[in-house]
Structure 1
Amino acid sequence: MPSTPPPPPPLIDLRNVTRHYDGGLGTGGVPALQDAGLSVAAGEAVAILGPSGSGKSTLLNLIAGLDRPDEGSVTVDGVRVDRLGEAAAARYRRAKIGMVFQFFHLLDDLTVAENVVLPAQLAGMARAEARRRAAELLENLGVDRHSGTYPGRLSGGERQRVAVARALMNRPPVLLADEPTGALDSASGEDVSRLLRELHADGQTVLVVTHDLALARSCTTRTVRLADGRVLDDNARMETVR
């Protein structure tokens, strides 16, 4: 009988990760993460839950290459992120990571289309191709009518959709969302939650950091709980995200 091929390696793989603040390892600093591990397969939608100070944002920063662990390894899509220098980490983020934040971080002096095109320009994509990609994303996310508008004229939900379009501009394998509904009203929050469900259904790997258990249940199929920098539990749910 033919042998079963081995499973593909995880898209995201953190092993024995420790990150200290207040001086770092060996100085008595506070551990933001302590001997943490996380493995995420391509196409998963995972919620990172925990109270303030539990290490959620530190975990996302390590995956994004914005921070480095004091111990352990961080591998994303075959890249040892913890070994990257500053310039290489910036290139890695442009190619591998899309980031969505609580407060959008759109540039108010650029139009919606200009905000979305910006990551492609930084990555060296041809201008015509970047414009086509931006137009496609804005149409798919339902905000194409605002392409020439400045972000300050949009609702919170619309701005978050623009932020998602910008995050997806370079077709990153990983989308990181840090409290993506935290600054939105309930209707706009549900709109963004639905969008994350749709992205996951299309095969996008999504990690959502949130305090909101309802958001986690609505747009992910797995929850990882942190407390005091440690992984308390890691549970896949059987129900399908709709």
Structure 2
Amino acid sequence: MTEPLIDLRDVSRRYDDGPPALHDASLTVWPGEAVAILGPSGSGKSTLLNLLAGLDRPDTGTVTVDGVRVDRLGEAAAARYRRSKIGMIFQFFNLLDDLNVADNVALPAQLAGTARGEAHRRAAELLEALGIARHGRAYPGRLSGGERQRVAVARALLNRPPLLLADEPTGALDTASGQDVSRLLRELNAEGQTLVVVTHDLALARSCTDRTVRIVDGRIVDGRIAEDVSAEMAR
């Protein structure tokens, strides 16, 4: 029987003396799913993302991703986990301005110990597949927002991670570029890539995922098909 790719059980996380950022949160995501995490600012979405990425640890509960108990990892092991298991796409791209596009994309593989030539071969394949091979020698500052996000997607996919995490991936883009990136994420999922998108944008959730999980005040309140949620919110 197939095991879940993500298995969060009774996870809570509190910072300082404030209310819990997450409270008794449980979530299961299966291989090949595309799931949107919806909620307003401060609801706990970023905390959930950081726990999945091994950037933070829960106070209680367990976080398992692709068979790895992420909540038990030390800093060095968490860094190795992110290189091998996680691809991350950020709202503001997080590209290195002093590296050209090809070098930005190849960097994760080189950090993982892949030879430079092999890393750049894989980077070139991804840039071609994502329709931006012509920009391989350009620097990020010369690209549009949509092009920079495609570079970020290529970088996230370089080490063939089982899980792709996207944090407000269209938040810094104009409408046309945002729709382009949304279609790209849908295509990646159709090819089998497991995808978790953290967003407050219902339109993005509806267009590139099949299931939504809503967080309110640190609590996961439901997880329904995106079309059902959009119909309810449209009333």
TM-score by length of 1: 0.92
1:9 is matched with 3
- What is the CA RMSD across the aligned residues, in angstroms? 1.1
**Cα distance between partner residues in 2 of 1:41 and 1:234:** 13
* Structure with the higher helix share, 1 or 2: 2
> Are positions 1:181 and 2:173 aligned together?
no
Q: Which amino acid aligns with 1:222?
A: R
1:119 is matched with 108
> Are positions 1:102 and 2:91 aligned together?
yes
2:24 is matched with 35
**Cα distance between partner residues in 2 of 1:118 and 1:237:** 35
Alignment of 1:8-87 (within 5 A): 8-22=2-16, 28-87=17-76
2:154 is matched with 165
Contact map agreement 2:213 2:222 (CA 8 A) in 1: yes
Q: How many residues align?
A: 228
**Cα distance between partner residues in 1 of 2:3 and 2:200:** 29
**Cα distance between partner residues in 1 of 2:182 and 2:44:** 23
Aligned counterpart in structure 1 of residue 198 of structure 2, from 180, 191, 209: 209
Q: Which amino acid aligns with 1:202?
A: E
**Cα distance between partner residues in 2 of 1:136 and 1:238:** 34
Q: 1:184 Cα shift?
A: 0.2
Contact map agreement 2:39 2:216 (CA 8 A) in 1: yes
Q: Name stretches of at least 5 consecutive residues in structure 2 with no aligned partner.
A: 229-235
Contact map agreement 2:211 2:225 (CA 8 A) in 1: yes
Q: 1:236 Cα shift?
A: 3.1
Contact map agreement 2:205 2:226 (CA 8 A) in 1: no
Aligned counterpart in structure 1 of residue 184 of structure 2, from 178, 187, 195: 195
